[in-house]
Structure 1
Amino acid sequence: MRRIILASASPRRKELLRQLIGDNFLVSPSSYEEPPQPDLAPEELLIRHSIGKARDVAKHFSSGIIISADTSVLYNGEVLGKPNFPEKAEEMLKKLNGRKFRVVTGLTVLDLDSAQEISESESTDVWMSEMDDEQILAYVRTGEPLDKAGAFAAQGKGAVLIERIEGDFFNAVGLPLFRLGKILEKLGVSVFDESFS
Protein backbone atom coordinates (compact mmCIF):
# COMPACT_ATOMS: atom_id res chain seq x y z
CA MET A 1 0.00 0.00 0.00
CA ARG A 2 1.29 3.45 -0.93
CA ARG A 3 1.67 6.00 1.85
CA ILE A 4 -0.84 8.83 1.48
CA ILE A 5 -0.13 12.19 3.13
CA LEU A 6 -2.79 14.87 3.51
CA ALA A 7 -1.18 18.31 3.51
CA SER A 8 -3.98 19.91 5.51
CA ALA A 9 -5.14 20.41 9.07
CA SER A 10 -8.76 20.78 7.93
CA PRO A 11 -11.07 18.42 9.82
CA ARG A 12 -13.41 18.46 6.81
CA ARG A 13 -10.69 17.32 4.42
CA LYS A 14 -9.58 14.62 6.85
CA GLU A 15 -13.12 13.29 7.08
CA LEU A 16 -13.62 13.35 3.31
CA LEU A 17 -10.34 11.54 2.66
CA ARG A 18 -11.31 9.02 5.34
CA GLN A 19 -14.45 8.27 3.29
CA LEU A 20 -12.24 7.28 0.36
CA ILE A 21 -9.37 5.40 2.00
CA GLY A 22 -10.26 4.84 5.64
CA ASP A 23 -7.62 5.79 8.18
CA ASN A 24 -4.79 4.83 5.84
CA PHE A 25 -3.17 8.25 5.62
CA LEU A 26 -0.95 10.63 7.54
CA VAL A 27 -1.79 14.25 8.21
CA SER A 28 1.02 16.75 7.76
CA PRO A 29 -0.27 20.32 7.67
CA SER A 30 1.61 22.68 5.41
CA SER A 31 3.29 25.82 6.66
CA TYR A 32 3.12 27.36 3.18
CA GLU A 33 2.25 31.06 3.25
CA GLU A 34 -0.25 32.04 0.56
CA PRO A 35 1.19 35.13 -1.13
CA PRO A 36 -1.32 37.47 -2.77
CA GLN A 37 -1.03 37.31 -6.55
CA PRO A 38 -3.73 39.63 -7.92
CA ASP A 39 -2.61 39.13 -11.52
CA LEU A 40 -3.73 35.48 -11.51
CA ALA A 41 -7.22 34.18 -12.22
CA PRO A 42 -8.76 32.70 -9.05
CA GLU A 43 -8.59 29.12 -10.35
CA GLU A 44 -4.91 29.52 -11.20
CA LEU A 45 -4.20 31.11 -7.82
CA LEU A 46 -5.86 28.23 -5.96
CA ILE A 47 -3.86 25.71 -7.99
CA ARG A 48 -0.65 27.63 -7.22
CA HIS A 49 -1.48 27.56 -3.51
CA SER A 50 -2.22 23.83 -3.59
CA ILE A 51 1.11 23.23 -5.35
CA GLY A 52 2.89 25.36 -2.74
CA LYS A 53 1.30 23.38 0.08
CA ALA A 54 2.19 20.01 -1.48
CA ARG A 55 5.79 21.00 -2.15
CA ASP A 56 6.16 22.41 1.36
CA VAL A 57 5.06 19.11 2.90
CA ALA A 58 7.20 17.15 0.41
CA LYS A 59 10.31 18.53 2.13
CA HIS A 60 9.56 16.27 5.10
CA PHE A 61 9.04 12.97 3.25
CA SER A 62 11.10 10.86 0.88
CA SER A 63 8.25 8.74 -0.47
CA GLY A 64 4.47 8.68 -0.64
CA ILE A 65 1.65 10.58 -2.28
CA ILE A 66 0.86 14.06 -1.00
CA ILE A 67 -2.63 15.51 -1.41
CA SER A 68 -3.19 19.22 -0.98
CA ALA A 69 -6.06 21.56 -1.72
CA ASP A 70 -7.01 25.21 -1.48
CA THR A 71 -10.67 26.23 -1.62
CA SER A 72 -12.37 29.61 -1.98
CA VAL A 73 -15.77 31.00 -2.83
CA LEU A 74 -16.04 33.24 -5.89
CA TYR A 75 -18.83 35.76 -6.18
CA ASN A 76 -19.01 38.59 -8.71
CA GLY A 77 -15.30 38.28 -9.43
CA GLU A 78 -14.43 38.55 -5.75
CA VAL A 79 -12.63 35.80 -3.85
CA LEU A 80 -14.25 35.19 -0.48
CA GLY A 81 -11.86 33.37 1.79
CA LYS A 82 -12.32 32.39 5.42
CA PRO A 83 -13.71 34.99 7.82
CA ASN A 84 -11.75 35.25 11.04
CA PHE A 85 -14.36 37.12 13.04
CA PRO A 86 -18.18 37.20 13.20
CA GLU A 87 -18.63 40.60 11.54
CA LYS A 88 -16.74 39.44 8.45
CA ALA A 89 -18.80 36.22 8.34
CA GLU A 90 -22.00 38.27 8.51
CA GLU A 91 -20.77 40.52 5.70
CA MET A 92 -19.95 37.52 3.48
CA LEU A 93 -23.28 35.84 4.14
CA LYS A 94 -25.15 39.03 3.25
CA LYS A 95 -23.27 39.14 -0.08
CA LEU A 96 -24.17 35.52 -0.86
CA ASN A 97 -27.73 35.74 0.49
CA GLY A 98 -30.20 34.53 -2.15
CA ARG A 99 -27.51 34.34 -4.82
CA LYS A 100 -25.56 31.90 -6.94
CA PHE A 101 -21.80 31.64 -6.44
CA ARG A 102 -18.98 29.22 -7.18
CA VAL A 103 -16.85 27.14 -4.86
CA VAL A 104 -13.48 26.52 -6.48
CA THR A 105 -10.74 24.20 -5.26
CA GLY A 106 -7.19 23.93 -6.51
CA LEU A 107 -6.09 20.31 -6.00
CA THR A 108 -2.56 18.93 -6.22
CA VAL A 109 -1.44 15.33 -5.91
CA LEU A 110 2.32 14.88 -5.73
CA ASP A 111 3.78 11.38 -6.06
CA LEU A 112 7.21 11.54 -4.46
CA ASP A 113 8.18 8.09 -5.74
CA SER A 114 7.62 8.84 -9.43
CA ALA A 115 8.12 12.63 -9.17
CA GLN A 116 4.74 13.13 -10.86
CA GLU A 117 2.71 16.17 -9.88
CA ILE A 118 -0.86 16.60 -11.06
CA SER A 119 -2.75 19.82 -10.35
CA GLU A 120 -6.31 20.59 -11.39
CA SER A 121 -9.18 22.77 -10.29
CA GLU A 122 -12.80 21.90 -9.58
CA SER A 123 -15.77 24.29 -9.61
CA THR A 124 -19.16 23.79 -8.01
CA ASP A 125 -22.10 26.17 -8.41
CA VAL A 126 -24.04 26.84 -5.23
CA TRP A 127 -27.32 28.68 -4.76
CA MET A 128 -27.87 30.09 -1.28
CA SER A 129 -31.42 30.56 -0.08
CA GLU A 130 -32.71 33.95 0.98
CA MET A 131 -32.36 34.70 4.67
CA ASP A 132 -33.39 37.64 6.76
CA ASP A 133 -30.86 39.44 8.94
CA GLU A 134 -31.92 37.51 12.05
CA GLN A 135 -31.31 34.16 10.35
CA ILE A 136 -27.88 35.31 9.22
CA LEU A 137 -26.99 36.49 12.73
CA ALA A 138 -28.31 33.27 14.27
CA TYR A 139 -26.12 31.23 11.93
CA VAL A 140 -23.09 33.40 12.65
CA ARG A 141 -23.68 32.96 16.41
CA THR A 142 -23.30 29.19 16.00
CA GLY A 143 -19.63 29.85 15.22
CA GLU A 144 -19.78 27.50 12.25
CA PRO A 145 -19.12 30.15 9.57
CA LEU A 146 -15.77 31.13 11.05
CA ASP A 147 -12.78 29.67 9.25
CA LYS A 148 -14.92 28.35 6.37
CA ALA A 149 -14.51 29.65 2.82
CA GLY A 150 -17.50 31.88 2.08
CA ALA A 151 -18.64 31.68 5.73
CA PHE A 152 -20.76 28.56 5.37
CA ALA A 153 -20.41 24.83 5.90
CA ALA A 154 -22.42 22.78 3.40
CA GLN A 155 -21.88 19.68 5.55
CA GLY A 156 -23.06 21.31 8.79
CA LYS A 157 -25.86 23.62 9.87
CA GLY A 158 -25.13 25.63 6.74
CA ALA A 159 -26.76 22.84 4.75
CA VAL A 160 -30.15 24.43 5.43
CA LEU A 161 -28.93 27.60 3.71
CA ILE A 162 -28.11 25.80 0.47
CA GLU A 163 -31.00 25.71 -1.95
CA ARG A 164 -29.16 23.88 -4.71
CA ILE A 165 -25.72 22.60 -5.69
CA GLU A 166 -24.57 21.82 -9.21
CA GLY A 167 -21.34 19.88 -9.43
CA ASP A 168 -19.29 17.97 -6.90
CA PHE A 169 -20.90 18.40 -3.47
CA PHE A 170 -17.67 17.33 -1.78
CA ASN A 171 -15.88 20.19 -3.52
CA ALA A 172 -18.25 22.56 -1.71
CA VAL A 173 -17.02 20.97 1.53
CA GLY A 174 -13.35 21.36 0.56
CA LEU A 175 -12.06 18.26 -1.24
CA PRO A 176 -13.38 17.23 -4.68
CA LEU A 177 -13.49 13.47 -4.22
CA PHE A 178 -14.40 12.56 -7.80
CA ARG A 179 -11.46 14.52 -9.23
CA LEU A 180 -9.14 13.23 -6.50
CA GLY A 181 -10.10 9.64 -7.29
CA LYS A 182 -9.37 10.19 -10.99
CA ILE A 183 -5.98 11.74 -10.25
CA LEU A 184 -5.06 8.88 -7.92
CA GLU A 185 -6.03 6.44 -10.69
CA LYS A 186 -3.61 8.21 -13.06
CA LEU A 187 -0.91 7.55 -10.46
CA GLY A 188 -1.82 3.87 -10.22
CA VAL A 189 -3.70 4.10 -6.92
CA SER A 190 -7.25 2.76 -6.70
CA VAL A 191 -9.46 3.77 -3.79
CA PHE A 192 -11.09 0.35 -4.24
CA ASP A 193 -7.86 -1.41 -3.27
CA GLU A 194 -8.54 -3.82 -0.39
CA SER A 195 -5.77 -2.22 1.68
CA PHE A 196 -7.92 0.92 1.93
CA SER A 197 -10.86 -0.95 3.47
Structure 2
Amino acid sequence: MTDQRLILASRSAARRAMLTGAGVPFTALDAGVDEDAIKTSLAGIDPAELALELARAKALAVSRHDPEAWVLGSDQTLDSQGGMISKARDLTEARHRLRGMSGHTHHLNSGAALAINGAVVWSGVDTARMTMRRFSDDFLDAYLEVEGEGLLGSVGCYRLEGMGSQLFDRVEGDYFTVLGMPLWPVLNELRRVGVIRT
Protein backbone atom coordinates (compact mmCIF):
# COMPACT_ATOMS: atom_id res chain seq x y z
CA MET A 1 0.00 0.00 0.00
CA THR A 2 2.90 2.37 0.82
CA ASP A 3 6.66 1.98 1.15
CA GLN A 4 6.45 2.27 4.96
CA ARG A 5 7.01 -0.94 6.95
CA LEU A 6 4.83 -1.80 9.94
CA ILE A 7 5.73 -4.30 12.65
CA LEU A 8 3.09 -5.50 15.12
CA ALA A 9 4.90 -6.05 18.42
CA SER A 10 2.51 -8.72 19.67
CA ARG A 11 1.94 -12.48 19.71
CA SER A 12 -1.84 -11.96 19.78
CA ALA A 13 -3.73 -13.85 17.07
CA ALA A 14 -6.70 -11.46 17.53
CA ARG A 15 -4.55 -8.38 16.88
CA ARG A 16 -2.99 -9.98 13.82
CA ALA A 17 -6.46 -10.89 12.55
CA MET A 18 -7.71 -7.31 13.06
CA LEU A 19 -4.90 -5.78 10.99
CA THR A 20 -5.17 -8.49 8.33
CA GLY A 21 -8.93 -8.02 8.11
CA ALA A 22 -8.49 -4.26 7.75
CA GLY A 23 -6.08 -4.81 4.84
CA VAL A 24 -3.03 -3.43 6.66
CA PRO A 25 0.29 -5.02 5.58
CA PHE A 26 2.55 -5.87 8.52
CA THR A 27 4.93 -8.37 10.01
CA ALA A 28 4.56 -9.61 13.59
CA LEU A 29 7.29 -9.91 16.18
CA ASP A 30 7.16 -10.79 19.86
CA ALA A 31 8.36 -7.74 21.80
CA GLY A 32 9.85 -9.91 24.53
CA VAL A 33 9.11 -7.45 27.32
CA ASP A 34 8.76 -8.58 30.94
CA GLU A 35 5.15 -7.58 31.52
CA ASP A 36 5.17 -8.76 35.14
CA ALA A 37 8.18 -6.55 35.94
CA ILE A 38 6.45 -3.53 34.36
CA LYS A 39 3.26 -4.23 36.32
CA THR A 40 5.25 -4.55 39.56
CA SER A 41 7.15 -1.31 38.93
CA LEU A 42 3.87 0.52 38.26
CA ALA A 43 1.85 -0.99 41.11
CA GLY A 44 -1.19 1.13 41.92
CA ILE A 45 -1.35 2.80 38.49
CA ASP A 46 -4.75 3.27 36.86
CA PRO A 47 -5.54 0.12 34.81
CA ALA A 48 -6.15 2.09 31.59
CA GLU A 49 -2.82 3.87 32.01
CA LEU A 50 -1.12 0.52 32.61
CA ALA A 51 -2.48 -0.77 29.28
CA LEU A 52 -0.87 2.28 27.65
CA GLU A 53 2.45 1.76 29.42
CA LEU A 54 2.58 -1.90 28.37
CA ALA A 55 1.76 -0.95 24.76
CA ARG A 56 4.48 1.72 24.78
CA ALA A 57 7.04 -0.71 26.23
CA LYS A 58 6.30 -3.26 23.49
CA ALA A 59 6.52 -0.68 20.71
CA LEU A 60 9.79 0.72 22.05
CA ALA A 61 11.41 -2.69 22.56
CA VAL A 62 10.97 -3.61 18.89
CA SER A 63 11.63 -0.09 17.56
CA ARG A 64 15.06 -0.02 19.20
CA HIS A 65 16.03 -3.08 17.13
CA ASP A 66 14.47 -1.87 13.87
CA PRO A 67 14.40 1.94 14.07
CA GLU A 68 13.34 2.54 10.45
CA ALA A 69 10.09 0.58 10.75
CA TRP A 70 6.88 1.79 12.31
CA VAL A 71 6.16 -0.41 15.33
CA LEU A 72 2.70 -0.93 16.81
CA GLY A 73 2.47 -2.17 20.38
CA SER A 74 -0.79 -3.07 22.10
CA ASP A 75 -1.94 -4.55 25.38
CA GLN A 76 -5.02 -5.01 27.56
CA THR A 77 -5.80 -4.73 31.24
CA LEU A 78 -8.94 -5.75 33.07
CA ASP A 79 -10.24 -4.23 36.26
CA SER A 80 -13.06 -5.92 38.13
CA GLN A 81 -14.63 -5.04 41.47
CA GLY A 82 -11.78 -2.70 42.36
CA GLY A 83 -8.92 -5.05 41.46
CA MET A 84 -6.68 -5.65 38.47
CA ILE A 85 -6.97 -9.09 36.88
CA SER A 86 -4.09 -10.90 35.14
CA LYS A 87 -4.26 -13.86 32.77
CA ALA A 88 -5.23 -17.15 34.39
CA ARG A 89 -2.41 -19.68 34.67
CA ASP A 90 -4.61 -22.74 34.17
CA LEU A 91 -8.22 -23.81 33.66
CA THR A 92 -8.84 -24.19 37.39
CA GLU A 93 -7.89 -20.56 37.92
CA ALA A 94 -9.96 -19.58 34.86
CA ARG A 95 -13.02 -21.34 36.33
CA HIS A 96 -12.57 -19.52 39.66
CA ARG A 97 -12.09 -16.18 37.90
CA LEU A 98 -15.15 -16.54 35.68
CA ARG A 99 -17.28 -17.68 38.60
CA GLY A 100 -16.20 -14.54 40.51
CA MET A 101 -17.01 -12.23 37.56
CA SER A 102 -20.43 -13.81 36.96
CA GLY A 103 -23.18 -11.26 37.50
CA HIS A 104 -20.74 -8.34 37.72
CA THR A 105 -19.46 -5.57 35.46
CA HIS A 106 -15.78 -5.16 34.63
CA HIS A 107 -13.76 -2.79 32.47
CA LEU A 108 -11.51 -3.98 29.66
CA ASN A 109 -8.85 -1.44 28.64
CA SER A 110 -7.04 -1.72 25.30
CA GLY A 111 -3.97 0.44 24.79
CA ALA A 112 -1.94 0.96 21.62
CA ALA A 113 1.28 2.83 20.84
CA LEU A 114 3.15 3.61 17.64
CA ALA A 115 6.91 4.07 17.64
CA ILE A 116 9.65 4.86 15.14
CA ASN A 117 13.37 5.52 15.61
CA GLY A 118 13.17 4.26 19.18
CA ALA A 119 10.54 6.81 20.26
CA VAL A 120 6.79 6.62 20.80
CA VAL A 121 5.05 9.15 18.57
CA TRP A 122 1.45 8.27 19.45
CA SER A 123 -0.47 6.28 22.03
CA GLY A 124 -4.11 5.87 22.94
CA VAL A 125 -6.42 3.76 25.07
CA ASP A 126 -10.08 2.79 24.91
CA THR A 127 -12.24 1.09 27.53
CA ALA A 128 -15.21 -1.26 27.17
CA ARG A 129 -17.69 -1.89 29.98
CA MET A 130 -18.53 -5.59 30.11
CA THR A 131 -21.47 -6.98 32.12
CA MET A 132 -21.43 -10.74 32.65
CA ARG A 133 -24.68 -12.58 33.14
CA ARG A 134 -25.22 -14.99 35.99
CA PHE A 135 -24.47 -18.36 34.40
CA SER A 136 -24.87 -21.89 35.71
CA ASP A 137 -22.10 -24.28 36.64
CA ASP A 138 -23.33 -26.52 33.80
CA PHE A 139 -22.78 -23.70 31.30
CA LEU A 140 -19.36 -22.91 32.78
CA ASP A 141 -18.32 -26.57 32.49
CA ALA A 142 -19.42 -26.70 28.85
CA TYR A 143 -17.73 -23.38 28.08
CA LEU A 144 -14.40 -24.46 29.56
CA GLU A 145 -14.57 -27.79 27.72
CA VAL A 146 -15.22 -26.12 24.35
CA GLU A 147 -12.73 -23.25 24.71
CA GLY A 148 -10.02 -25.19 26.52
CA GLU A 149 -6.59 -23.75 27.19
CA GLY A 150 -6.97 -21.30 24.30
CA LEU A 151 -8.87 -18.97 26.63
CA LEU A 152 -5.77 -18.64 28.86
CA GLY A 153 -4.37 -16.21 26.30
CA SER A 154 -7.10 -13.71 27.14
CA VAL A 155 -6.96 -11.60 30.27
CA GLY A 156 -10.69 -12.12 30.84
CA CYS A 157 -10.70 -15.84 29.99
CA TYR A 158 -13.05 -15.23 27.07
CA ARG A 159 -13.10 -14.56 23.36
CA LEU A 160 -16.07 -12.44 22.38
CA GLU A 161 -15.74 -13.76 18.83
CA GLY A 162 -16.31 -17.29 20.16
CA MET A 163 -18.49 -18.98 22.77
CA GLY A 164 -17.38 -16.28 25.22
CA SER A 165 -20.11 -14.08 23.75
CA GLN A 166 -22.60 -16.18 25.73
CA LEU A 167 -21.04 -15.04 29.02
CA PHE A 168 -22.45 -11.52 28.71
CA ASP A 169 -25.70 -9.65 29.22
CA ARG A 170 -24.34 -6.37 27.89
CA VAL A 171 -21.19 -4.90 26.36
CA GLU A 172 -20.79 -1.14 26.14
CA GLY A 173 -17.92 -0.04 23.94
CA ASP A 174 -16.12 -0.83 20.74
CA TYR A 175 -15.95 -4.44 19.55
CA PHE A 176 -12.30 -4.11 18.47
CA THR A 177 -11.37 -2.77 21.90
CA VAL A 178 -12.77 -5.96 23.39
CA LEU A 179 -10.78 -8.06 20.90
CA GLY A 180 -7.55 -6.42 22.03
CA MET A 181 -6.79 -3.16 20.23
CA PRO A 182 -8.52 0.21 19.69
CA LEU A 183 -8.53 -0.33 15.93
CA TRP A 184 -10.22 2.88 14.72
CA PRO A 185 -7.69 5.23 16.40
CA VAL A 186 -4.84 2.96 15.25
CA LEU A 187 -6.02 3.11 11.63
CA ASN A 188 -6.35 6.90 11.85
CA GLU A 189 -2.78 7.17 13.08
CA LEU A 190 -1.45 4.76 10.45
CA ARG A 191 -3.06 6.97 7.81
CA ARG A 192 -1.62 10.11 9.37
CA VAL A 193 1.96 8.81 9.29
CA GLY A 194 1.64 7.33 5.80
CA VAL A 195 1.67 3.60 6.60
CA ILE A 196 -1.69 3.18 4.84
CA ARG A 197 -3.32 5.44 2.28
CA THR A 198 -5.62 8.28 3.23
* Pairwise CA distance, 1:31: 0.5
Residue 19 in structure 1 maps to residue 21 in structure 2: yes
The worse-fitting range, judged by mean Cα deviation, of 30-39 and 181-190 is 181-190
Partner in structure 2 of residue 59 of structure 1: 64
Worse overlay, 136-145 or 98-107: 136-145
CA contact (8 A) 2:77 2:110 kept: yes
Residue 146 (1) aligns with residue 148 (2): no
Output the CA distance in 1 between the equivalents of 2:78 and 2:133. 16
Q: 1:81 aligns with which of 86, 104, 121?
A: 86
TM-score, with normalisation over the residues of structure 1? 0.88
Q: Which residue of 1 aligns with 2:6?
A: 4
Give RMSD over aligned pairs: 1.9
Checking the alignment, whether the CA contact within 8 Å between 1:111 and 1:187 is kept in structure 2 is: no
Q: Percent identity?
A: 25
Instruction: Return the alpha-carbon distance in structure 2 between the equivalents of residues 163 and 170 of structure 1.
Output: 18
> In the aligned structure 1, how far is the partner of 2:160 from the partner of 2:62?
28
Looking at structure 2, the residues matched to 74 and 179 of structure 1 have their Cα atoms a distance apart, in angstroms, of: 22
Displacement after TM superposition at 1:133 (Å): 1.4
Amino acid at match of 2:58: K
Alignment check: 8 A CA contact 2:10 2:28 kept = yes
The amino acid of 1:32's aligned partner reads V
The one-letter code matched in structure 1 to 2:59 is A
Q: Deviations over 1:76-114 (max 9, x none)?
A: 12111211201110111112212221110121111339x
Residues matched between the structures, number: 190
**Unpaired stretches in structure 1, ≥5 consecutive residues:** none
2:153 aligned counterpart, secondary structure: coil
1:179–1:95 CA distance, 2 compared to 1 (3 A): farther
Q: Which runs of 4+ in 1 moved over 4 A?
A: none
In 1: Cα distance, 2:82 partner to 2:190 partner: 31
Q: Which amino acid aligns with 1:137?
A: D
- How far apart are the structure 1 equivalents of 2:192 and 2:126? 17
Query: How high is the TM-score relative to the length of structure 2?
Result: 0.88
Shift of 1:135: 1.2
2:180 to 171, 174, 177: 174
Q: CA deviation at 1:188?
A: 3.8
Question: Does 1:119 pair with 2:120?
Answer: no
Shift of 1:187: 2.4
Contact 2:111/2:181 (<8 A) preserved: no
Specify which of 92, 101, 110 is matched with residue 96 of structure 1. 101
Q: In 1, distance between residues paired with 2:23 and 2:116?
A: 17
The residue that corresponds to 2:34 in the other structure is 33
Deviation at 1:137, TM superposition (A): 2.2
Shift of 1:116: 5.2
String of CA shifts for 1:128-153, please: whole Å, max 9, x gaps: 22211121122122314222111111
Kept after mapping to 2: 8 A contact 1:154/1:162: no
Q: How far off is 1:178 after superposition?
A: 1.3
Is 1:84–1:147's contact at 8 Å kept on the other side of the alignment?
A: no
**What is aligned with 2:134?**
130
